[in-house]
């Protein structure tokens, strides 16, 4: 669960992942927020457009049509890998889907069969439409598949999600087949590998500034510190000596919220402890969510392991 990214943060996250992004017309204010809530966000949904040509597909997804007003997604991924942003906020892309699937996405566990259409997915999912006829014959160029991988990873990285927060439309709503031509299992494997390494872009999104000045730390400086591994490093299933070293520093700073530990497996206790550290630095609200950001991480000074 997460607060939706602002237009600026969405743009930065995508470019940080190495994507070429085009801002289409008034995408920042193009949404369906007047028809229902947008957020909290839980994941990313991938679709195909059932159309040909970049320009026509982008216009279709921006405007929609008589039966389904636009925007029909947040970004259109062209054959050449360019991402065209067409919406910011609630979009008509997911429709009604299976509440069991939603619960699995939130818990980041294996997906159950989608056999119900009772839950509003437009509220909870970012959506990307990839230009493809969806007939099983239209090819998926390597550049386009890489862009799908990057776009999904960008949002996972921004929110601290794993690859299990990325699903296809066919996994959400009964009767849907998109994306057709590759499997979501293979795409999630690609996204997982990408999240385990640094992004391809050069402009890292900034962590919000503290709302009040932080008190200087009295801890003795260490000669070498662990570099920030990225927000996506801190997710369910992660086990690393870096997590243990972080936990020990949090305890030293008086922010430990451990009953047992700290240990190498990332846990709710680690997240609660890190949230206490963020609050100590002056962060509040969504900025103190317990997922490390570069600014707060650098100030924690985790010893190099």
Question: Over the stretch 30-87, which tens digit does the pLDDT of each residue have?
Answer: 999 999 999 999 999 999 999 999 999 999 999 999 999 999 999 999 999 999 999 9
Judgement on whether residues 99 and 152 belong to the same structural domain of the protein: yes
- CA–CA separation, 146 vs 39, rounded Å? 27
Domains in the chain: how many in total? 2
> Are 178 and 48 a contacting pair, CB within 8 Å?
yes
Residue 94 lies in a domain: yes
Judgement on whether residues 25 and 141 belong to the same structural domain of the protein: yes
pLDDT (0 to 100) of residue 236: 84
> Around Cβ 239, how many Cβ atoms within 10 Å?
11
Mean pLDDT (the chain) is: 91
Residue 49 lies in a domain: yes
- CA–CA separation, 296 vs 255, rounded Å? 13
Judgement on whether residues 187 and 237 belong to the same structural domain of the protein: no
- CA–CA separation, 65 vs 72, rounded Å? 9
pLDDT (0 to 100) of residue 213: 54
H-helix or E-strand containing 15? helix 7-16
- CA–CA separation, 168 vs 177, rounded Å? 9
pLDDT (0 to 100) of residue 143: 98
Which of 102-111, 166-175, 215-224, 274-283 is modeled with the greatest confidence? Answer: 166-175
Residue 106 lies in a domain: yes
Q: Is residue 202 over pLDDT 80? A: no
* Last residue within a domain, chosen from 173, 195, 217: 195
Q: Enumerate long-range contacts of 106-115, CB under 8 Å, 24 or more apart.
A: 106/1, 106/42, 108/161, 108/162, 108/164, 108/165, 108/235, 108/236, 109/164, 110/164, 111/167, 111/171, 114/170, 114/171, 114/172, 114/173, 114/174, 115/174
Beta bridge partners of 125: 43
Judgement on whether residues 144 and 260 belong to the same structural domain of the protein: no
> Are 132 and 48 a contacting pair, CB within 8 Å?
yes
Residue 305 lies in a domain: no
pLDDT (0 to 100) of residue 212: 53
CATH number at residue 185: 3.40.80.10
pLDDT (0 to 100) of residue 205: 52
* Last residue within a domain, chosen from 148, 167, 195: 195
Q: Is residue 153 over pLDDT 80? A: yes
pLDDT (0 to 100) of residue 197: 86
pLDDT (0 to 100) of residue 2: 85
* 228, two tokens: 């920030």
Reported as a pLDDT band with limits 50, 70 and 90, residue 219 is very low
pLDDT (0 to 100) of residue 222: 43
Judgement on whether residues 44 and 91 belong to the same structural domain of the protein: yes
- CA–CA separation, 58 vs 50, rounded Å? 12
* 183, two tokens: 């499997």
pLDDT (0 to 100) of residue 85: 98
Judgement on whether residues 90 and 237 belong to the same structural domain of the protein: no
* Last residue within a domain, chosen from 148, 175, 195: 195
Judgement on whether residues 50 and 135 belong to the same structural domain of the protein: yes
Residue 203 lies in a domain: no
pTM for the model: 0.70
Residue 31, C-beta contacts closer than 8 angstroms, at least 6 positions apart: 38, 71, 87, 88, 89, 90, 91
> Are 225 and 249 a contacting pair, CB within 8 Å?
no
DSSP string for 90-135: --TTS-EE-HHHHHHHHHT-PPPP-----EEGGGTEEEEEE----S
Reported as a pLDDT band with limits 50, 70 and 90, residue 304 is confident
Residue 289 lies in a domain: yes
Judgement on whether residues 93 and 189 belong to the same structural domain of the protein: yes
What mean pLDDT is predicted for residues 183-208?
Answer: 82
Judgement on whether residues 158 and 268 belong to the same structural domain of the protein: no
CA angle 247, 302, 152 (to 5 degrees): 80
Judgement on whether residues 54 and 191 belong to the same structural domain of the protein: yes
Q: Is residue 216 over pLDDT 60? A: no
Residue 119 lies in a domain: yes
Judgement on whether residues 182 and 273 belong to the same structural domain of the protein: no
Q: Is residue 1 over pLDDT 80? A: no
Judgement on whether residues 58 and 138 belong to the same structural domain of the protein: yes
Residue 160, C-beta contacts closer than 8 angstroms, at least 6 positions apart: 2, 231, 232, 234, 235, 289, 291
CA neighbor of 88 nearest in space, from 101, 75, 79, 76: 75
H-helix or E-strand containing 68? strand 68-69
Residue 280, C-beta contacts closer than 8 angstroms, at least 6 positions apart: 214, 215, 253, 254, 255
Start-to-end CA distance of the chain, whole Å, equals 31
> Are 274 and 247 a contacting pair, CB within 8 Å?
no
Residue 62 lies in a domain: yes
Instruction: Residue 269: give the domain boundaries.
Output: 231-300
Q: What percent of the chain has pLDDT over 90?
A: 80
- Per the listing, tokens 């920030």 go with 228
């Amino acid at each position: 669960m997460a607060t939706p990214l602002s237009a600026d943060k969405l743009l930065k996250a995508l470019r940080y992942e190495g994507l070429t992004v085009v801002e289409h017309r008034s995408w920042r204010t193009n949404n369906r927020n007047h028809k229902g809530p947008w957020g909290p966000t839980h994941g990313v949904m991938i679709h195909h457009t059932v159309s040909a040509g970049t320009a026509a597909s982008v216009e279709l997804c921006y405007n929609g049509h008589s039966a389904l007003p636009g925007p029909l997604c947040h970004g259109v991924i062209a054959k050449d890998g360019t991402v065209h942003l067409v919406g910011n906020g609630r979009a008509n892309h997911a429709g009604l889907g299976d509440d069991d699937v939603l619960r699995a996405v939130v818990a980041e566990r294996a997906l159950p069969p989608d056999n119900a259409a009772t839950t509003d997915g437009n509220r909870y999912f970012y959506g990307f439409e990839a230009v493809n006829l969806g007939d099983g014959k239209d090819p998926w160029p390597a550049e386009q598949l890489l862009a799908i991988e990057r776009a999904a990873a960008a949002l996972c990285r921004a929110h601290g999600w794993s690859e299990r927060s990325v699903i296809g439309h066919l996994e959400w709503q009964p009767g849907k087949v998109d994306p057709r031509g590759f499997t979501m299992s293979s795409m999630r494997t690609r996204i997982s590998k990408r999240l385990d390494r640094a992004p391809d872009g050069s402009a890292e999104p900034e962590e919000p500034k503290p709302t009040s000045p932080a008190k200087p730390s009295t801890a003795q400086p260490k000669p070498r510190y662990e570099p920030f591994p990225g927000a996506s490093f801190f997710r369910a299933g992660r086990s690393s000596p870096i997590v243990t070293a972080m936990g020990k520093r949090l305890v030293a700073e008086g922010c430990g919220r451990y009953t047992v530990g700290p240990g190498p497996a990332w846990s709710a206790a680690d997240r609660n402890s890190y949230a206490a550290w963020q609050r100590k630095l002056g962060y509040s609200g969504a900025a103190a969510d317990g997922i490390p950001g570069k600014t707060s991480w650098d100030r924690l000074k985790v010893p190099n392991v």
